[in-house]
Amino acid sequence: MEYFVQQLVNGLTLGSIYGLIAIGYTMVYGIIGMVNFAHGDIFMLGGFAALIVYLILVGLFGGVPVALALFVMILIAMLMTGLWNWVIEKLAYRPLRGSFRLAPLITAIGMSIALSNFVQVTQGPRNKPVPPLVSSVYDIFGIAISLKQIIIVLVTAVLLTIFWYIVNHTPLGRAQRATEQDRKMAALLGIDVDKTISITFVMGAALAAVAGTMYLMYYGVIVFTDGFTPGVKAFTAAVLGGIGSLPGAVLGGLMIGLIESLWSAYFTIDYKDVATFSILAIVLIFKPSGILGRPEVEKV
Amino acid sequence: MALETDTMTKDPILKVEHLSMRFGGLMAINDLSFEAYRGDITALIGPNGAGKTTVFNCITGFYKPTMGMITLRQKAGKEYLLERMSDYEVNRDAKVARTFQNIRLFSGLTVLENLLVAQHNKLMLASGYTILGLLGFPTYKAAVGESIERAKYWLDKANLTDRADDPAGDLPYGAQRRLEIARAMCTGPEFLCLDEPAAGLNPRESLALNELLRSIRKDTDTSILLIEHDMSVVMEISDHVVVLEYGQKISDGNPDYVKHDPKVIAAYLGVEDDEVEEVIEQIEEIAPGETH
Amino acid sequence: MANISHTTEAVSTNLMARALREAFYAGLIALGLFVLFVGLKTDQNILNELVLVQRWGLLATFVALAMVGRFLAVAYVRPWLEARKAAKAAAPVVEREAGFVARNFNLLAIVALIAYPLVMVAVFGFQGSLKWVDNFGIQILIYVLLAWGLNIVVGLAGLLDLGYVAFYAVGAYSYALLSSYLGLSFWLLLPIAGVLAALWGTILGFPVLRLKGDYLAIVTLAFGEIIRLVLINWTEVTKGTFGISGIAKASVFGIWSFDISAANNFAKAFGLPMSSAYYKIFLFYLALALCMLAAFVTIRLRRMPIGRAWEALREDEIACRSLGINTVTTKLTAFATGAMFGGIAGSFFAVRQGFVSPESFVFLESAIILAIVVLGGMGSLVGIAVAATVMIGGTELLREMNFLKQIFGPDFTPELYRMLIFGLAMIVVMVWKPRGFVGSREPTAFLRERKSVSGSFTKEGHG
């Protein structure tokens, strides 16, 4: 039983990170109907930004209180990736908006290749290890819960609350939802659609940066290729939950995290990704628009 | 009544019995029964939201009705229960073709290609499921020639021969409507369902459409069921009219009968029952020539 | 007169002022983007700890480049583009007679391809030609074959497949395993690999083809990954990440072999000096023949009812069903046919490398193949071949740019920048030509004259 709960905790932690990334996918998909393939690499970029900020802090001040260091890392990583995604949207996706559906998908794949190789070229191809930032582990009823895990789940929960509030209770969120429903009509009603879309990209990137920072803290290492696998898993999470739906993205992320950790714990770690992808395929075959996605009614 | 004598002499091609269709809590069609007769043009009319297109989608297999039976009897006597068949089988086996309210052409294919796609199943067989065709067997070539001849025939009827090699998306609206009908006819249907064929047409295009529909009735054995808002089209070309309101049948008969049915007038004009007489009088004043 | 020159002067100073302002913003943004990633580099010191190396000079170069680029774009390039556009709009459209090259492009291309290995041998000698025939010629041809296969699925039937590499892998491993374990010959295995891949296409396609659009895309991606992960982890059969090596070479229809020890060795039989170039040249012609066959089959298929049904499916699936077309089998045949091309390309890949490992079948490969299809112009065989040549050949050329070392110093390795440039090129080409190199579509039948259908009418499918 303890073992099971332990795996549940691990899965929840992992799932939180996937969920944070998945929100970026789902928001961008919701608002412009595009799969932003470069989003995983934005996550990786966020992790690198956090790493470099951490090294600057250590270099300048020697030791910094962990809470403060994490706060600064997250903040700067969010700003950084937000700026990156803003520029990317403007240069690579906006000129293609409203044209061919596959064109932005291809530029996004190109952007993903370019970003990971940009980091490889500028930061080197090797693994970047950092000494453990947070190492306390608590024993709660026989279950080892590390402070890292608590931080990750807490940060995710707080961010999701803020986010949920923004989307549901602010003029910005209203503009986003309106743009999602009908871009032309939203523009006619005086919503600055371009700006709304830009902000959506920035918000998604900021969440990915948080996920990147958490990832760096949790695993203590990052490398330029790290955007791909978590990116694909998060995309899977978004689709599993029903792409376009925010709660769906989080639910999907948690499910994927749980599947992965439970499968690794009880079966073989080698086939954990196979399990994840198989479950995705099975879910979609029986529920073609994801768990929380609105079923697409075929209009004849 | 004229209706009853019709039923005795005429042979129904389509029989809809107790058809109901529920979407969530909404009863789009409620216990609808009617018949369409062979060789006739039957019109399905009714105010917006009466469930006409839903009836169409049930007949052509795109929706599975909640209840009821739809029977199609072919000329050779073979019967099909349409509600049990999937959409493509309704066309392939039962020989029911249809058009759509918002035109669905293959806009990137040329007009001629659109008409060839419609003859897919026949050509597929002739090409030996692609394999013989790939090897260049003469039977396939002959079949293609035949298909092009049929396409030409309908191009001519739809007055589209000049545009045969242009992309379908490039045609003006009225021509697109005619092409969609021609395409449906290329599947060789016994029963043709037209969803608002005259919607959005200008008077000249309307005329061309009427001509096409008449030639279908005259030159082929295809029976037609059409949804239409344009009363002039309905009254002019249809032999039999079924009126729907809120998913239920409120009238059924020849155009004259229906035109004077107080329920129909009330449904269209939205008047109280006791005002119906008054409305009839008004109509007679406006269009005296059409009344008896 | 004076007045007019005065206003143009004012306009140009305005333009300059704007260009300077925008250049300033561009510099600022570039500074923000690159300050952490270019200005600082994470490096390991002797203790294996990460330390930061400062590179402010390089950062300044990046920012300066961004500023100059933006300035030139706003001040000169954009007005020039607009002027050209205006001139084009003003001038009447002149129907230019297509030149000799344009009219006979296909024929010339085939002749050039047939002559290509011979020219390379003539220029670089047998040993020198190896690289050009193999890395450029054969590799590009494999990508052309793959992209033509995916074109059937994506370009004709309009089904987005992000896991196409799975069928490539099935083909490659079918050849590698059946040839290693059962000793079957290349000529037998080539069609078998194609059939096996098609079978897998059908098996995978059956459950997923009900899905639409991006759901289909992610499930195909998932299947691609599943196949790769199984290849990695099923070590008893596939030898996992080590891969399968020592795969038998192809022979000239079993008459001449390219094994050095064999009695019927090609070079021995003709009394030629030993060289591996013969084998590569043979493979080149083999690849060329396979591509020609694929092109022939695709062109034929488009004129078959099934090919028309694929394209109709891309245009409007509901209309297809209303015309009695069974869309499930139509999609399945597209999937299976595309998979078969992939499987044949895969088995050819295995025979060319003599080695297969899961490394070669990552998602990036699917992405590259899809990019080639879209960049070439969906549905157009010629456009796709051109795109494959430009994208694969172009990045391959970067390996050859050793002279750049003399400019940037001996530490400079152009290869490192290969994929970076590949990614950026994908973006630039797509923004420049969203419908790909060849955006129009050739009709498959005509009554009077064959007119290409402009890309603005064709749809891209929703499946």
Residue B289 has pLDDT above 70, yes or no: no
Residues B23, B128 within the same domain: no
Interface chains of chain A (3 or more CB pairs under 8 Å):
B, C
Report the alpha-carbon distance of residue B257 to residue B1 in Å, rounded: 9
Q: With CB atoms and an 8 Å threshold, state whether C364 touches A113.
A: yes
Distances (CA, A) of A36 to A23, A163, A244, B185: 12, 20, 13, 44
B265 domain-assigned: no
Closest-approach residue (CA) in chain B for C301:
B134
Looking at residue A206, its pLDDT comes to 93
Which runs of E-coded beta strand occur in A187-242?
Answer: 221-222
B52–chain A Cβ distance below 8 A for any pair: no
Looking at residue A282, its pLDDT comes to 84
Looking at residue C1, its pLDDT comes to 47
Our measurement of the distance from residue C156's CA atom to the centroid of its chain's CA atoms, rounded to an integer in Å, reads 17
C-beta of residue A235 within 8 angstroms of C-beta of residue A40: yes
Average pLDDT over residues C147-171: 91
Residues B30, B170 within the same domain: no
Name which of A106, A260, A273 to mutate to probe chain C: the one with the most chain C Cβ atoms within 10 A of its Cβ: A106
Domain range holding B228? Answer: 2-95+188-259
Using a CB-CB cut-off of 8 Å, the residues of chain C touching A51 are 42, 50
Average pLDDT over residues B61-82: 86
Residues B211, B161 within the same domain: no
**What's chain C's average pLDDT?**
82
B266 domain-assigned: no
A188–chain B Cβ distance below 8 A for any pair: no
Report the alpha-carbon distance of residue C398 to residue C43 in Å, rounded: 26
Strand, coil or helix: B244: strand
Using a CB-CB cut-off of 8 Å, the residues of chain B touching A298 are 62
Using a CB-CB cut-off of 8 Å, the residues of chain B touching C441 are 108
Which tokens belong to B2? 């004229």
- Closest partner residue to C458 (CB to CB) among B108, B119, B127 is B108
Which tokens belong to C22? 């925008």
Looking at residue B5, its pLDDT comes to 45
Name which of B89, B113, B115, B162 to mutate to probe chain C: the one with the most chain C Cβ atoms within 10 A of its Cβ: B113
Residues 325-384 of chain C with CB under 8 A from chain B are 325-327, 333
C180–chain B Cβ distance below 8 A for any pair: no
Strand, coil or helix: B163: helix
Looking at residue B256, its pLDDT comes to 80
A to C CB pairs, distance under 8 Å? 182
The whole model's pTM is what?
A: 0.85
Residues B16, B64 within the same domain: yes
The total number of structural domains in chain B stands at 2
Report the alpha-carbon distance of residue C70 to residue C377 in Å, rounded: 30
Shortest Cα distance, chain A CAs vs residue C72, angstroms: 17
Q: With CB atoms and an 8 Å threshold, state whether C214 touches A239.
A: yes
Sheet harboring B79-81: ordered strands across? B26-37, B12-23, B67-73, B79-81
Phi then psi dihedrals of residue C263, to 5 deg: -70, -35
C32-46, C115-129, C330-344, C413-427: least confidently modelled range: C115-129
The DSSP secondary structure of C200-252, one letter per residue, reads: HHHHHHHHHTTS-HHHHHHHHHHHHHHHHHHHHH-HHHH-GGG-EE-PPPP-B
Residues B45, B88 within the same domain: yes
- Closest partner residue to B113 (CB to CB) among C321, C326, C444 is C444
C-beta of residue B265 within 8 angstroms of C-beta of residue B279: yes
Residue B71 has pLDDT above 60, yes or no: yes
What's at B119, amino acid-wise? Q
**Per-residue pLDDT reduced to its tens digit, C61-88:** 888 898 888 888 888 888 888 888 888 7
Closest-approach residue (CA) in chain B for A298:
B62
Looking at residue B291, its pLDDT comes to 39
**Per-residue pLDDT reduced to its tens digit, A126-136:** 888 888 877 78
Q: If pLDDT is split at 50, 70 and 90, which confidence band does A298 have?
A: low
> What are the structural domain ranges in chain A?
2-226
Residue C96 has pLDDT above 70, yes or no: no
Q: If pLDDT is split at 50, 70 and 90, which confidence band does B286 have?
A: low
A110–chain C Cβ distance below 8 A for any pair: yes
Looking at residue C337, its pLDDT comes to 93
Looking at residue B277, its pLDDT comes to 61
Q: If pLDDT is split at 50, 70 and 90, which confidence band does C402 have?
A: low
**Per-residue pLDDT reduced to its tens digit, C244-288:** 887 777 777 766 777 766 666 766 666 666 667 778 888 888 899
Q: With CB atoms and an 8 Å threshold, state whether C321 touches B87.
A: yes
- Closest partner residue to C36 (CB to CB) among A49, A111, A278 is A49
B282 domain-assigned: no
A218-227, B71-80, B109-118: least confidently modelled range: B71-80
Report the alpha-carbon distance of residue B61 to residue B82 in Å, rounded: 7
Closest-approach residue (CA) in chain C for A84:
C33
Which tokens belong to B21? 């269709």
Residues 222-251 of chain A with CB under 8 A from chain C are 228, 232, 235-236, 239, 243
**What's chain B's average pLDDT?**
81
Using a CB-CB cut-off of 8 Å, the residues of chain A touching C423 are 110-115, 117
Using a CB-CB cut-off of 8 Å, the residues of chain C touching A281 are 207-208, 219, 222-223
- Closest partner residue to C427 (CB to CB) among A51, A80, A111 is A111
A to B CB pairs, distance under 8 Å? 6
Average pLDDT over residues A266-277: 83
Shortest Cα distance, chain A CAs vs residue B53, angstroms: 9
A300–chain B Cβ distance below 8 A for any pair: yes
**Per-residue pLDDT reduced to its tens digit, A170-200:** 888 888 888 888 888 888 888 888 898 999 9
Residue B290 has pLDDT above 50, yes or no: no
User: Alpha helices, DSSP H only, in C252-403?
Assistant: 266-270, 277-302, 305-315, 317-322, 327-353, 363-376, 381-388, 394-398
How many other CB atoms sit within 10 Å of the CB of residue A184?
A: 9
Sequence-ordered list of residues with C-beta below 8 angstroms from that of C134, at least 6 positions apart, any chain? C280, C283, C284, C352
Average pLDDT over residues C419-426: 87
Residue C454 has pLDDT above 80, yes or no: no
B283 domain-assigned: no
Sequence-ordered list of residues with C-beta below 8 angstroms from that of B31, at least 6 positions apart, any chain? B18, B19, B20, B68, B248
The residue whose two tokens read 């085939």 is C110
Report the alpha-carbon distance of residue A67 to residue A50 in Å, rounded: 14
Using a CB-CB cut-off of 8 Å, the residues of chain C touching A95 are 431
Q: If pLDDT is split at 50, 70 and 90, which confidence band does B281 have?
A: low
**Per-residue pLDDT reduced to its tens digit, B19-32:** 888 887 788 888 88
Report the alpha-carbon distance of residue B137 to residue C277 in Å, rounded: 41
β B67-73/B79-81 pair status: antiparallel
Phi-psi region of C21 (alpha: psi -120 to 50; beta: other; left: phi over 0): alpha
Q: With CB atoms and an 8 Å threshold, state whether B123 touches C305.
A: yes
Closest-approach residue (CA) in chain B for C310:
B117
Using a CB-CB cut-off of 8 Å, the residues of chain C touching A111 are 423, 427
Q: With CB atoms and an 8 Å threshold, state whether B109 touches C446.
A: no
C-beta of residue C128 within 8 angstroms of C-beta of residue C276: no
B35 domain-assigned: yes
Residue A294 has pLDDT above 60, yes or no: yes
Looking at residue B2, its pLDDT comes to 43
Closest-approach residue (CA) in chain C for A283:
C219
**If you ran DSSP here, which 8-state letter would residue C94 be given?**
P
Half-sphere exposure of C47 (CA within 13 A, CB side): 5
Shortest Cα distance, chain B CAs vs residue A294, angstroms: 14
Report the alpha-carbon distance of residue A259 to residue A240 in Å, rounded: 12
Shortest Cα distance, chain C CAs vs residue B135, angstroms: 9
Report the alpha-carbon distance of residue C37 to residue C55 in Å, rounded: 10
Average pLDDT over residues B178-203: 88
A87–chain C Cβ distance below 8 A for any pair: yes
Residue C400 has pLDDT above 50, yes or no: yes
> What are the structural domain ranges in chain C?
7-90, 114-369
A34-48, B114-128, C167-181: least confidently modelled range: B114-128
| Domain boundary residue, one of B157, B187, B217 | B187
C295–chain B Cβ distance below 8 A for any pair: no
Residue B236 has pLDDT above 90, yes or no: no
Residue B149 has pLDDT above 70, yes or no: yes
Distances (CA, A) of A253 to A16, A30, A34, A102, B140: 6, 17, 19, 26, 53
B152 domain-assigned: yes
Q: If pLDDT is split at 50, 70 and 90, which confidence band does C43 have?
A: confident
Which tokens belong to C151? 């074109």
Average pLDDT over residues B197-202: 83
B284 domain-assigned: no
**If you ran DSSP here, which 8-state letter would residue B224 be given?**
E
Strand, coil or helix: B36: strand
C299–chain B Cβ distance below 8 A for any pair: no
Q: What is the 3-state secondary structure (H, E, C) of chain A?
A: CHHHHHHHHHHHHHHHHHHHHHHHHHHHHHHHCCCCCCHHHHHHHHHHHHHHHHHHHHHHHCCCCHHHHHHHHHHHHHHHHHHHHHHHHHHHHHHHCCCCCHHHHHHHHHHHHHHHHHHHHHHCCCCEECCCCCCCEEEECCEEEEHHHHHHHHHHHHHHHHHHHHHHHCHHHHHHHHHHHCHHHHHHCCCCHHHHHHHHHHHHHHHHHHHHHHHHHHHCEECHHHHHHHHHHHHHHHHHHCCCCHHHHHHHHHHHHHHHHHHHHHCCHHHHHHHHHHHHHHHHHHCCCCCCCCCCCCCC
| Domain boundary residue, one of B169, B187, B205 | B187
Closest-approach residue (CA) in chain C for B126:
C305
Residues B8, B43 within the same domain: yes
Which tokens belong to B173? 């609206």
Long-range contacts of C409-416 (CB under 8 A, 24+ apart): C416/A117, C416/A120, C416/A121
β B191-195/B223-227 pair status: parallel
Looking at residue B3, its pLDDT comes to 45
Q: If pLDDT is split at 50, 70 and 90, which confidence band does A295 have?
A: low
Residues 377-436 of chain C with CB under 8 A from chain B are none
